[in-house]
């Protein structure tokens, strides 16, 4: 046992044990006390090793609870299929499309309200500061566990008098409603970044510090204007983003 940075060795040992299946998905790791004794180290040192494995996405832990090997497979988020017109016509939103492909149970909670666009939202939608937008905030769950927050902003003139201002937007969701009112979608641009969550996001997603999130900013365009800004915060460990790109 190295005297300097023994947490590396502890993390390496546990990582190997997980990868070889000694600790299978959903199983508990040894308790902190057991690891302290086994390696002859202090509590903080064990904690450093645990923190590393958590940031690698191998384990999850809850205070008072237990340290568990992660069991859930990543949700495949299929960028091409999920936004296709075919799926929209069939009446499924993108999250539901992913669920059907991945065989998990989707659940979406929505809150809606109009508001004045701040500078960032106005810039993305090419509106003037303070223009009215309609906001749909969604918490998405997979098999009951929150995995994603998505907040959509649409220029109010596109949504007034449509089902987009209802809690339930109807079959095909907001994109189907936009196309019905003559706003044909041409393309989407997605920008992907990653970072740690802030306190509000961490609480809503039920994750701790150090568990990274994906931040996806998506703008939907018609031929002449920006129709929707969607800001997504997703538990990084739970997702694999899949993009299909033409070579031409």
Partner DNA sequence: AAGTGGTCTAGACCACTTG
- Of these, 13, 15, 27, 61, which contacts DNA (CB under 7 A)? 61
Q: From the list DNA, a second copy, none, pick the one residue 83 interacts with, judged by a Cβ distance below 5 to 8 Å according to partner type.
A: a second copy
| Residue 24 binding DNA, by CB under 7 A | no
Please compute Rg for the chain using Cα positions. Answer: 22
# residues contacting a second copy (CB under 8 A): 45
CB of 194 within 8 A of CB of 171? no
Q: Using alpha carbons, list the distances in angstroms from residue 101 to 51, 87, 104, 167, 239.
A: 32, 12, 8, 25, 13
Least spacing, CB of residue 69 vs a second copy, in Å = 15
Residue (of 58, 57, 102) closest to 82 by Cα position: 102
| Residue 123 binding a second copy, by CB under 8 A | no
Q: Is the dihedral of CA 151, 155, 156, 158 positive or negative?
A: negative
- What mask of x and - would describe binding to DNA in positions 180 to 219, judged by CB under 7 A? ----------------------------xx----------
| Residue 205 binding a second copy, by CB under 8 A | no
Q: Which residue has the tokens 């929707």?
A: 228
| Residue 45 binding DNA, by CB under 7 A | yes
Q: Which two tokens stand for residue 156?
A: 């109010």
Give the phi and the psi of residue 165 in degrees, each rounded to 5: -90, 5
Least spacing, CB of residue 78 vs DNA, in Å = 32
CB of 120 within 8 A of CB of 138? no
**Interface residues toward a second copy, by CB under 8 A:** 8, 44, 51-52, 55-57, 74, 79-80, 83-85, 184-196, 198-199, 209-210, 212, 214, 220, 236-237, 239-248
Q: Where do contacts with DNA occur on this chain (CB under 7 A)? A: 4-8, 28-29, 31-33, 40-45, 47-48, 50, 54, 61-67, 208-209
């Amino acid at each position: 046992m190295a005297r300097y940075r023994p947490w590396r060795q502890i993390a390496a040992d546990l990582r190997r044990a997980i990868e070889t299946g000694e600790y299978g998905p959903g199983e508990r790791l040894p308790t902190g006390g057991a690891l302290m004794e086994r390696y002859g180290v202090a509590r903080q040192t064990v904690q450093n090793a645990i923190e590393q494995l958590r940031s690698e996405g191998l384990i999850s832990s809850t205070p008072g609870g237990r340290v568990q090997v992660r069991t859930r497979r990543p949700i495949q988020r299929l960028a091409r299929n999920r936004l296709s017109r075919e799926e929209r016509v069939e009446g499924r939103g993108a999250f539901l499309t992913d669920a059907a492909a991945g065989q998990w149970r989707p659940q979406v909670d929505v809150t809606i309200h109009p508001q004045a666009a701040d500078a960032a939202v106005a810039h993305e939608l090419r509106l003037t500061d303070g223009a009215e937008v309609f906001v749909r905030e969604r918490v998405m769950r997979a098999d009951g566990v929150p995995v994603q927050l998505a907040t959509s902003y649409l220029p109010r003139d596109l949504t007034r008098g449509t089902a987009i201002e209802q809690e339930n937007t109807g079959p095909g969701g907001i994109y189907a409603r936009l196309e019905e009112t003559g706003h044909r979608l041409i393309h989407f641009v997605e920008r992907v970044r990653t970072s740690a969550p802030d306190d509000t996001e961490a609480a809503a997603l039920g994750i701790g510090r150090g568990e990274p999130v994906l931040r996806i900013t998506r703008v939907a365009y018609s031929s002449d204007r920006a129709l929707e800004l969607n800001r997504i915060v997703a538990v990084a460990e739970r997702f694999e983003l899949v993009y299909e790109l033409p070579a031409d």
